Amino acid sequence: MGIFIKELPRVSLCNLPTPLQEAPRLSARLGGTQVSIKRDDLTGLAMGGNKSRKLEFIMADAKGIGADVVITAGTPQSNEAFQTLAAASKLGMDTILFIFKMRKDTHNEIQSSFLYHLLAAKIRLTDLVYDDLPILSKKMQDLADVLRARGHRPYVLHPAWRVPLGIVGYVCLAGEICNQLRERGLAAQYLFLASASGQTQAGLTLGAKYFGAPFKVIGITPTHMQSREEMVRKVADLANETARFLEMSFTFEPDEIVIHDEYASEKRSPTRGSIEAIKLVAQTEGIFLDPIYTGKAMAALVDQTQRGKIKSSDAVIFYHTGGLPAIFEYGEALLQGL
């Protein structure tokens, strides 16, 4: 790992390295393609998930300024919000959480997100949606100004924060996977992951090049909130921004970024493919995926093998980014199969 990365302040929030677990029964169902699952659902913070990796760097920054309260935002079932609140609790900081909606036609209430209450977050419901994030960010900043005037030291984590400091966590992840492959004498041609904000894919793409990974990073978008062209540009830009931050001499063009959007849904909802993928992995490997992100990434992997795009002689890493709390919101759809 580069010296500069090692010098960055970091707090310990995860149980690392997470397992790279072979999935023999799933592999057999996919015609022999060797599938291994990178289990970041087992990071250990809250209910696990990949966001803990970037929080190790982000929360170190918060700790560095002596923050006593973290202001953040998320949807009623945001795994990132769960982990942020858990990280703040672990570090002795209070939390204020703004809840926004994914769509205007939904009623904003926390329902099954009782985990927010268990983490003692001060919750502020809003009628804002994802497109209103600039307005929400201003509300968060205004609150921070009020808290500062009262003698507090707030740290604001905007809902769309895509800073290189956090993406460094996924650069490190690529190195971790490469080490695990070398220890086992294995190679993998592909790494599949759900790619929504583009941060994880950007860090993995940069890290794969830096550490000489044998695999190609394949991103699967979960919704059609952005076009494929917008997503590949975003991932390339984030990878380039992070490379500059880390003083690496790598650059990426959009045509180097691989993203599939044909497995996405129009709204933040499960698809028939994601539900079938969840059942398949649960019934072959005893591992749960979520209906919105990892379920769709696995649906893509299943489809790509069935259509011969991935060969039976190939080895694939499936990156399990977590998101378990969301599965309870869609229990009826899972049981009925849409």
Q: For the chain, which residues make up each domain, given as ranges?
A: 3-50+163-336, 51-156
Q: Which of 27, 36, 78, 197 is catalytic?
A: 78
* Res 5 pLDDT > 60: yes
Residues 287-302: what's their mean pLDDT? 96
Class of domain 3-50+163-336: alpha beta
Between residues 220 and 324, the one the model is more confident about: 220
Using an 8 Å Cβ cutoff, are 97 and 73 in contact? yes
User: Which residues are 319's β-sheet partners?
Assistant: 38
Of the pLDDT bands very low, low, confident and very high (cuts 50, 70, 90), residue 337 is: low
Determine phi and psi for 3, rounding to 5 degrees.
-60, -40
* Res 287 pLDDT > 70: yes
Q: Do domains 3-50+163-336 and 51-156 have the same CATH topology?
A: yes
Residue 108 CB-half CA count within 13 A: 17
Residues 15-21: what's their mean pLDDT? 98
Describe the chain by its helix, strand, coil percentages, rounded to 5.
45, 15, 35
What is the pLDDT, as a whole number, of residue 104?
61
* Res 233 pLDDT > 60: yes
Class of domain 51-156: alpha beta
Residue 105 to residue 267: CA distance in whole angstroms? 11
What is the pLDDT, as a whole number, of residue 147?
98
Cβ-proximal residues to 321 (8 Å cutoff; 6+ apart), any chain: 40, 41, 49, 50, 193, 194, 200, 293, 294
User: Is 137 in the active site?
Assistant: no
Of the pLDDT bands very low, low, confident and very high (cuts 50, 70, 90), residue 102 is: low
Residues 263-281: what's their mean pLDDT? 91
Cβ-proximal residues to 227 (8 Å cutoff; 6+ apart), any chain: 261
Residues 292-318: what's their mean pLDDT? 97
Question: Could you tell me which of 268, 287, 267 has the C-alpha nearest to residue 277?
Answer: 287
Of the pLDDT bands very low, low, confident and very high (cuts 50, 70, 90), residue 112 is: very low
* Res 291 pLDDT > 80: yes
Name the burial class of residue 284, with classes exposed (0-12), middle (13-18) and buried (19+) by CB atoms within 10 angstroms of its CB: middle
